[in-house]
Structure 1
Amino acid sequence: MATNSLPLERKQDTTFLMIMVFVLSFFLNQSNVLFGINLSLSDFIIVGVLVSLIMKQELELPLTHILVFSTFSIVILFYSLFIIPNQYMIAANPLATLIDYTKLLVVFLYYTIGFNLSRLKLTTTFLKGFVIGAVGIGFVGILISFVPIPYLSSIMLFGESRLIGFMNDPNFFAVIQCCALSILLRMKPLNSIIRFGAIGIILLSIISSGSKSAVILVFLYSGYFLVTKAVKMKSTTPLRAAGSLILVLGLLVIIPNILTYTDELMAIIVNRFPIFSRVELLFTDFSSAVSDGGSGRAQVWETAMHIINSAPFLGIGLGNYIPIAEQFVYNPNVAHNTYLQLSAEWGIVLTVLFFIYVGSALMDAKPSLFKDNQENQNRQIIRDILIIFLIASVSISLNNARIFWLVLGMSVFQAKYAHSLNEL
């Protein structure tokens, strides 16, 4: 009996962990501000995943990662609380610094869990849970556009018109939906009807968010996706290559005809989704679209540049951004640009090193190097999500985005440790 029960026990343990990972990824589609901190149900579930991995003795992370984060933590906390307040003649704010450092600690936890999910081959479970959550929330959001539901409408709509799902920002919600779009485009096997239906829901939910940045992101990612498909055509059979070529040529013929009816199409969409009038400017008056209607980034970017110029090498640390920004502008706000935000807080040197690290993970984890089709697919999807975040970071501050850090942990394992498990 003992011999037979051990495999069963291991299977049950694995099943429980898979369920927690699925639920964790599902709730990455939700976050709200509570007590000044952006909280998600996934934050509580990830603690359960952490405890489970520790109890199973399955939690691993290279020592260098722990040492780098620990050293960075000590330096930036000391700098934030003692050096910067004296340099800028502001009062040290331990609470604000603690809140910002807590965010950093949480995303490092997500990075660690992402590293281990990839190591334990739970990437597919993660992707399925996340995309199901995104499509489900998108569907409910579109539904309330047709049939208003009082309680849900008050939660899922920003300003009574922009869809935010269960997030606290319509732009971030739209970026999350773009990540789900990349999964739907890459994931196989998937029934064609389900795929196209889910993609339709995702695209409509992005439109309903009224995020012009996300619409631009969809076009940029679509271009990247088509280019990668075109490159792969060289390695396919002549018949499939010919079919793909015919499809591309067909689109080139059809699209110009569709564009002649752009005004009529826009009118129909705006009539059903009034918030699309924000996005419509992208097609009719691009310059106004990126500067008007709350989309202007010039002031907050200029403020971030002033801060960077004043502390270019080591930044201003954590918890000091708003009081220092007040010295440059009357109404300060975050940079709405991840690169500028990190450069202001961490300094240019650390920010450049960090993004070199991210870039190396993207470059080293090439799907074509691996024979396992499922593993190849997962690697490509993870790369796509990272690329989406890197593009979106130009217009949104995503330095504390949970899914970005979790996916980064996955990508780092895939790039640097997948072939050398014994090194950990």
Structure 2
Amino acid sequence: MVANSLTLEKKRVTSTVMVTVFLMSVFLNQSNVLFGINLSLSDFLVLGLVISLIMKQELSLPLMHIIVFSAFSILILFHSLFIIPNQYMIAADPLATLIDYTKLLVVFLYYTIGFNLSRLKLTAVFLKGFVVGSVGIGFIGILISFIPIPYLSSIMLFGESRLIGFMNDPNFFAVIQCCALSILLRMKPLNSVIRIGAIGIILLSIISSGSKSAIILVALYSGYFLVGKLVKMEKTTPLKVVSSLFLVLGVSAIIRNLLTYTDELMALIVSRFPIFSRVELLFTDFSSAVSDGGSGRTQVWETALHMIDSAPLLGVGLGNYIPIANQFVHNPNVAHNTYLQLAAEWGIVLTALFFLYVGSTLLNNRKNSFENDQENQNRQMIRDILIIFLIASVSISLNNARIFWLVLGMSVFQTKYNRPLKQSFKGED
């Protein structure tokens, strides 16, 4: 049901819907390529959720969102199939365009479900299911590092060494694990032993993925998280600020002593997790780490920039990226950068408008006085996941990432449509 007017009355959610949301969240940790499309078991559960909510007349989305997506669809399809092939003298490929548009349609469906999960107060169910899936898969991945299991090893390891979980790319798997890490750091109430154990599993699984980008991402997010904690402490008591400073000094002293045993520590870790040799350079030779061993992004970024320069307004459209990139470089690949990838496909104007919209949800996603502590905690965790994706997007193409669009839908509802009970959404789109 498309709605221009939404009321914040609590909807009745059946246990079946809650179980479906939980399972969908677990399976967001899995995807595989089939017929040129990344398919996940969560896709089928999302489709089931859509049908179920429609039957219950509880699926809502502001009309403006439908209009914008429909207008964008018509524009990008016409541009991809008729304008770009003539401009670049290439044959139109309706199948490739259809596959790319199907991906776009799927993530818009996730956006819609995310909007409704937040509206129906199911954000906590999603977060718990997602973390359970991430920690469980991380544990299995670490287990096969010690006890090889033939069938699982062939599925969960890339190149017989890099952990990919049930994803098809080790870097994306590591980003997903980073999202789970951010949830574990914020989630309350949670037993301290369980929290530390789960965080340890997540960190080991990220290391086992061999993703240098993810190691940098963890470091950046950790800095952001600690700064946020210190800012909150300054608003409480001087005693807590002094205590935190002593804690930082103590940790610094321990790290300084550990650095004298760096070589021995690295050798020990590499002997147990050989793939750690990929990220070891981050601690010993950072400049080489970000450019060697297949991590260089210069060529694919330059190719994307050439394409943006040749079609800055509306991009090269859907299904045309690789054929046109082939005109600039031999053996082309995707941009490995979400911002460049979208700018090349959608054009600079639409990409800028999209990320301005995403940025507005982050700037407005602050604590609300009319929400309880649990809702504000959920809001903070959703914001952190968006931040992680925006940082990771610098080195990975995440424009079709399901969880990004899902949490974006949640964030949009939280920041633009969630109002006190006495207010309504009449006239707001």
- Same-fold status (TM-score > 0.5): yes
Q: Which residue in 2 is equivalent to 1:351?
A: 351
The reply on whether 1:422 has 2:425 as its aligned counterpart is yes
How far did residue 244 of structure 1 move?
2.9
Q: Distance in 1 between matches of 2:369 and 2:292?
A: 46
| 2-structure distance, mates of 1:107, 1:157 | 27
One-letter code aligned to 2:270: V
- Counterpart of 2:414, as a letter, is Q
Encode CA deviations 1:341-374: one digit per residue, 9 max, x unaligned. Answer: 0000000011011000000000111126554110
Do 1:29 and 1:133's aligned partners in 2 also have CA atoms closer than 8 Å? Answer: yes
Equivalent residue number for residue 61 of structure 1: 61
Query: Could you say which residue in structure 2 is the equivalent of 1:174?
Result: 174
Are the equivalent residues in 2 in contact too, given 1:131–1:183 (CA < 8 A)? yes
The answer to whether 1:117 aligns with 2:117 is yes
1:121 partner SS: coil
Give the gaps of 5 or more residues in structure 1.
Answer: 1-9
The superposition leaves residues 127-175 of structure 1 with CA deviations (integer Å, 9 ceiling, x where unpaired) of 0000000000000000000000000000000000000000000000000
> Retained in 2: the 8 A contact 1:174–1:206?
yes
Specify the SS of the correspondent of 1:261: helix
1:206 matched to 2:206? The reply is yes
Matching residue of 1:4? none
Give, in angstroms, the shift of residue 422 of structure 1: 3.4
Query: Which residue pairs with 2:263 in the alignment?
Result: 263
Query: CA separation in 2, counterparts of 1:391 and 1:230?
Result: 22
4+ long deviations beyond 6 Å: none
- Alpha-carbon offset, residue 243 of structure 1: 3.4
Amino acid in the other structure paired with 1:95? L
Identity percentage over the alignment? 80
Aligned residue number for residue 3 of structure 1: none
Q: Give me the whole-angstrom Cα distance separating, in 1, the residues matched to 2:67 and 2:144.
A: 48
Larger relative helix fraction = 1
Q: Cα offset for 1:234?
A: 2.0
Structure ranking higher on relative contact order (CA contacts 8 Å, 6+ apart): 2
How far off its partner does 1:326 sit?
Answer: 0.5
Which residue of structure 1 aligns with residue 99 of structure 2? 99
Instruction: Give the superposition deviation at 1:285.
Output: 1.2
TM-score calculated relative to the size of structure 1: 0.96
**For the residues of structure 2 that align with 1:313 and 1:190, how far apart are their CA atoms?**
49
Taking the aligned partners of 1:391 and 1:21, their CA distance within structure 2 comes to 27
Q: Deviations over 1:34-85 (max 9, x none)?
A: 0111000000000111111111111111111110000000000000000000
How many angstroms does 1:196 deviate by?
Answer: 0.3
Deviation at 1:239, TM superposition (A): 4.5
> 1:112 Cα deviation (Å)?
0.4
2:409 aligns with 409
In the alignment, residue 308 of structure 1 is paired with which amino acid?
I
For 2:311, give the aligned amino acid. Answer: A
Letter in 2 for 1:123: T
Equivalent residues in 2 for 1:24-423, closer than 5 Å: 24-367=24-367, 369=369, 371-419=371-419, 420-423=423-426
Contact in 2 for aligned 1:301/1:336 (Cα 8 Å): yes
Compute the displacement of 1:264 (Å): 1.3
Q: Which runs of 5+ in 2 are unaligned?
A: 1-10
- Whole-angstrom distance in 1 between the partners of 2:286 and 2:183: 29
CA distance in 2, matches of 1:379, 1:266: 38
Partners of 2:120 and 2:243 in 1: how far apart? 38
CA RMSD of aligned residues (A): 1.3
Kept after mapping to 2: 8 A contact 1:212/1:279: yes
Q: Please tell me the residue identity of whatever aligns with 1:230.
A: L
User: Mean alpha-carbon deviation: is it higher for 89-98 or for 236-245?
Assistant: 236-245
- 2: distance between equivalents of 1:390 and 1:186? 19
Contact 1:370 1:376 in 2 (8 A): no
Is the partner of 1:38 in helix, strand or coil? strand
For residue 258 of structure 1, report the CA deviation from its aligned partner: 1.8
Higher alpha-carbon deviation: 159-168 or 248-257: 248-257
Paired residue type of 1:39: L
Q: Name the amino acid aligned to 1:150.
A: P
The separation in 2 between residues aligned to 1:92 and 1:50, in whole angstroms, is: 33
Helix, strand or coil for the counterpart of 2:14? Answer: helix
Q: Is the 8 A contact 1:29 1:167 kept in 2?
A: yes
Matched to 1:117, the amino acid is L
- Equivalent AA in structure 1 for residue 425 of structure 2: N
